[in-house]
């Protein structure tokens, strides 16, 4: 149904203006060129598609209550689908050494989804296997893919055994009575670095003694090659549709490529590196998507560290590989990290979401942000904008320390958008060249009630609130 909003045109404001030299000495914003005051009809965004939706990261670090998480997520699946989500990234679904307290990144039994009594519990932190299967089924019923978090750099929780290659005891024995109750993919010291066929894996930065040797046929067979391998069991038996590869700095790119060549599916790699050249090289070596840490850090620098939006005019992965860049503003690691340069402050989160949800790339929404009542409606509106109008080539129309204006040029059938970010304390306006002519514009983010008019040459005077943003596009012509 087409929705109508009433926009009142304002003739003058006694607030600070934006000038080309960023001099805020003026006290009056320029009067906009607008049609006669009255009713304007927003576009029906349900009639437009950008060809891209968003992924939901469905957890945060140390989720509570323990044992109920799969059921909690099941209750949210339908509403997430309605909001425009098309994939769910689940936490590591199998038993870790920490048992009922484990977030899964200390993997012990790759086939225990909450059905074997070991490490002090039967269920995982997130619930039982049956509850997980119900969640996956419900996601599929709502046309959502389910992404498995895959941790194959290291293992944890095995039994102690003498390791001749280290000349000491190591916790590298995994069998039915030592951290691998399923009996599938049993391991011992020969399957970890170093061993009789491999020296140390220099790429591993932690869990060195339990760092899997992916060069071995035995390990490859159990991880992705044979019919009951981890990859094929997760896909064919459990119903997972794709993969999030944890800590790929710890093993070679060919491992991810081999996995994908064998089983396919959507994938995204956690290559924690802010250099877009490094991320680009990994994409080309593996064929996998990667989390766009280059954009994450540019947002952190622009909004927090240096408070300078010109950092958004730097090189980022989405510029060269938009179809492979999985953008984000937060995840379970950044939010628990004590390093202030590894997270975006709460007061800037919505601006960061406005950026990734209007720019190219595949955005990821962080559970804790979406479920924050102060953020949810605004993020939902941005998802709607992303899924409908965020299409076409990008062009930065203006950028300085506290203003950033970017245009998505749209297509012949889609008008695209212009995002205006303003990190100063006051409302600003700036005249730019749009692709729209003889058209009233409105802010689809609902942060501004200003309704400027794009003249026959496309020139238009746009507005953004202080410490905020606006997302502009055209309206339906009045009959």
Q: What is the DSSP letter of 31?
A: P
229 vs 465: CA distance, rounded Å = 54
As a 3-state breakdown, the chain gives helix, strand, coil percent values, each rounded to 5, of 30, 25, 45
Q: Compute the half-sphere exposure of residue 5: CA atoms within 13 Å on the CB side of its CA.
A: 19
- Which tokens is 140 given? 């599929």
Task: Give the active site residue among 106, 109, 213, 270.
Answer: 270
Contacts (Cβ under 8 Å, ≥6 apart) of 290? 268, 269, 270, 271, 279, 282, 283, 317, 324, 325, 326
How wide is the angle at C-alpha 308 spanned by C-alphas 305 and 312, nearest 5°? 100
Residue 147, beta-bridge partner list: 89, 242
How wide is the angle at C-alpha 16 spanned by C-alphas 10 and 17, nearest 5°? 80
Q: Does 153 count as an annotated binding residue?
A: yes
Name the H helices within 104-250. Answer: 129-141, 217-220, 230-232
Is 333 labeled as catalytic in the residue annotation?
A: no
Note whether 298 and 312 are within 8 A (CB).
yes
Task: Give the active site residue among 112, 123, 246, 292.
Answer: 246
Is 246 labeled as catalytic in the residue annotation?
A: yes
Tell me: cis bond preceding 65? Omega within 30 of 0 counts: yes
b/e burial code for range 171-182 (CB count within 10 A of at least 16 → b)? bbbbeeebbbbb
Q: Does 435 count as an annotated binding residue?
A: no
Please enumerate, by residue number, every residue annotated as part of a binding site. Answer: 153, 217
Which positions are catalytic? 246, 270
Q: Which segments are annotated as binding site for Ca(2+)?
A: 153, 217
């Amino acid at each position: 149904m087409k929705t109508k909003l009433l926009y009142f045109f304002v003739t003058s404001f006694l607030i600070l203006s934006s000038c080309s030299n960023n001099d805020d000495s003026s006290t009056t914003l320029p009067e906009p060129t607008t049609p006669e005051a009255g009713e304007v009809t927003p576009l029906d965004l349900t009639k437009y598609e950008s060809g891209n939706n968003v992924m939901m990261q469905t957890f945060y670090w140390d989720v509570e209550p323990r044992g109920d998480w799969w059921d909690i997520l099941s209750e949210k699946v339908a509403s997430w689908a309605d909001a425009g989500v098309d994939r769910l990234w689940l936490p590591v679904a199998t038993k870790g050494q920490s048992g009922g307290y484990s977030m899964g990144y200390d993997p012990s039994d790759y086939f225990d989804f909450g059905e074997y009594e070991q490490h002090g519990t039967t269920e995982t932190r997130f619930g039982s296997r049956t509850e997980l299967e119900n969640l996956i089924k419900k996601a599929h019923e709502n046309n959502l893919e389910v992404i498995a978090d895959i941790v194959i750099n290291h293992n944890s929780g095995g039994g102690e055994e003498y390791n001749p290659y280290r000349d000491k005891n190591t916790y590298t024995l995994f069998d039915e009575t030592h951290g691998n109750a399923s009996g599938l993919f049993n391991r011992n010291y020969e399957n970890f670095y170093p061993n009789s066929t491999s020296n140390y894996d220099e790429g591993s930065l932690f869990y060195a003694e339990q760092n899997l040797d992916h060069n071995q046929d035995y390990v490859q067979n159990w991880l992705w090659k044979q019919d009951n391998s981890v990859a094929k069991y997760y896909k064919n038996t459990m119903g997972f549709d794709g993969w999030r590869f944890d800590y790929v700095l710890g093993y070679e790119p060919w491992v991810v490529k081999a996995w994908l060549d064998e089983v396919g599916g959507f994938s995204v790699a956690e290559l924690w590196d802010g250099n877009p050249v490094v991320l680009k090289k990994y994409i080309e070596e593996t064929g996998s998507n990667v989390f766009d840490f280059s954009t994450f850090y540019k947002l952190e620098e622009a909004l927090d560290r240096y408070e300078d939006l010109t950092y958004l005019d730097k090189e980022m992965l989405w510029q060269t590989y938009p179809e492979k860049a999985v953008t984000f503003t937060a995840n379970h690691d950044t939010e628990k990290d004590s390093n202030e340069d590894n997270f975006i402050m709460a007061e800037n989160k919505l601006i960061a979401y406005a950026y990734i949800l209007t720019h190219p790339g595949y955005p990821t929404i962080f559970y804790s942000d979406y479920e924050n009542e102060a953020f949810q409606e605004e993020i939902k509106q941005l998802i709607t904008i992303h899924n409908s109008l965020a299409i076409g080539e990008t062009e930065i129309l203006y950028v300085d320390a506290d203003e950033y204006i970017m245009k998505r040029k749209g297509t012949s059938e889609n008008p695209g958008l212009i995002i205006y970010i303003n990190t100063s304390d006051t409302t600003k306006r700036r005249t730019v060249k749009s692709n729209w002519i003889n058209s009233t514009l409105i802010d689809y983010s609902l942060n501004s009630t200003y309704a400027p008019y794009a003249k026959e040459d496309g020139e238009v005077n746009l507005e953004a609130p202080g410490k905020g943003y606006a997302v502009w596009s055209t309206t339906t012509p009045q009959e």
